[in-house]
């Protein structure tokens, strides 16, 4: 399949494993240059090395999406000229599921910052370049329900009424 990504630059967060790494493999197979981001620097380095062995052009950028400076570092790693063509906001999660009424305000706020504020910050950093070039795509992964490590293994919540 040719998605027209040869020579394009893709930034992927949460890229050291799971869906993020699988997405990186698919985009690399399409010829995209990859800027990968994850918190675990050693796991990210290992993922980048594996992709490079398969012929991909990879720039690993260790970092946390909650860091307000990260978007600038990612765009610099992509060339610094606003040259991000694809943004995959894959990092996300929750504060652990304790039950709706037991989650503290701080837990809700932390989850909101991770799943809403951080992706919006990244989108804002790449959108001007996409608009200038009249080309670009952004995707934000839907977070797994709180307390579930694997969406397919999570039962539908039972209502208490």
pLDDT at 144 over 80: no
With respect to residue 120, please indicate whether it lies within any of the assigned structural domains: yes
Cα separation, 63 vs 10, in Å, equals 16
Among left, alpha and beta (phi > 0; psi -120 to 50; other), residue 27 is: alpha
Average pLDDT over every residue of 95-101: 70
Query: Which is more confidently placed, 135 or 94?
Result: 135
CATH number at 41 reads: 3.40.50.720
76-85: pLDDT as tens digits: 999 877 789 9
With respect to residue 91, please indicate whether it lies within any of the assigned structural domains: yes
With respect to residue 34, please indicate whether it lies within any of the assigned structural domains: yes
With respect to residue 134, please indicate whether it lies within any of the assigned structural domains: yes
pLDDT band at 97 (very low <50, low <70, confident <90, very high): low
Taken in order 119, 3, 81, 50, the sign of the CA dihedral is: positive
pLDDT at 148 over 70: no
Query: Which is more confidently placed, 93 or 161?
Result: 93
Average pLDDT over every residue of 7-17: 95
Mean model confidence pLDDT for the chain: 85
Domain with 27 in it = 9-143
Q: Which residue has the tokens 């799943």?
A: 115
pLDDT at 156 over 50: no
pLDDT at 142 over 70: no
Q: Give this prediction's pTM.
A: 0.84
Give how many domains the chain has, as a whole number.
Answer: 1
With respect to residue 48, please indicate whether it lies within any of the assigned structural domains: yes
Please state, for a pLDDT cut of 70, what percent of the chain lies above it.
Answer: 84
């Amino acid at each position: 399949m040719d998605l027209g990504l040869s020579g394009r630059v893709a930034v992927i967060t949460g890229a050291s494993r799971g869906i993020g790494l699988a997405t990186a493999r698919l985009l690399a197979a399409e010829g995209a240059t990859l800027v990968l981001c994850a918190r675990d620097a050693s796991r990210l380095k290992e993922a980048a090395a594996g992709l490079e062995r398969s012929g991909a052009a990879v720039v690993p950028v260790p970092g946390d999406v909650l860091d307000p400076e990260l978007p600038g570092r990612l765009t610099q790693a992509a060339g610094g000229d606003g040259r991000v063509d694809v943004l995959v906001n894959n990092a996300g999660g929750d504060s652990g599921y304790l039950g709706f009424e037991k989650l503290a305000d701080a837990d809700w706020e932390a989850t909101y910052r991770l799943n809403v504020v951080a992706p919006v910050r990244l989108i804002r950093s790449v959108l001007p370049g996409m608009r200038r070039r009249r080309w670009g795509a952004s995707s934000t992964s839907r977070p797994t329900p709180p307390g579930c490590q694997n969406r397919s293994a999570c039962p539908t919540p039972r209502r208490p009424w």
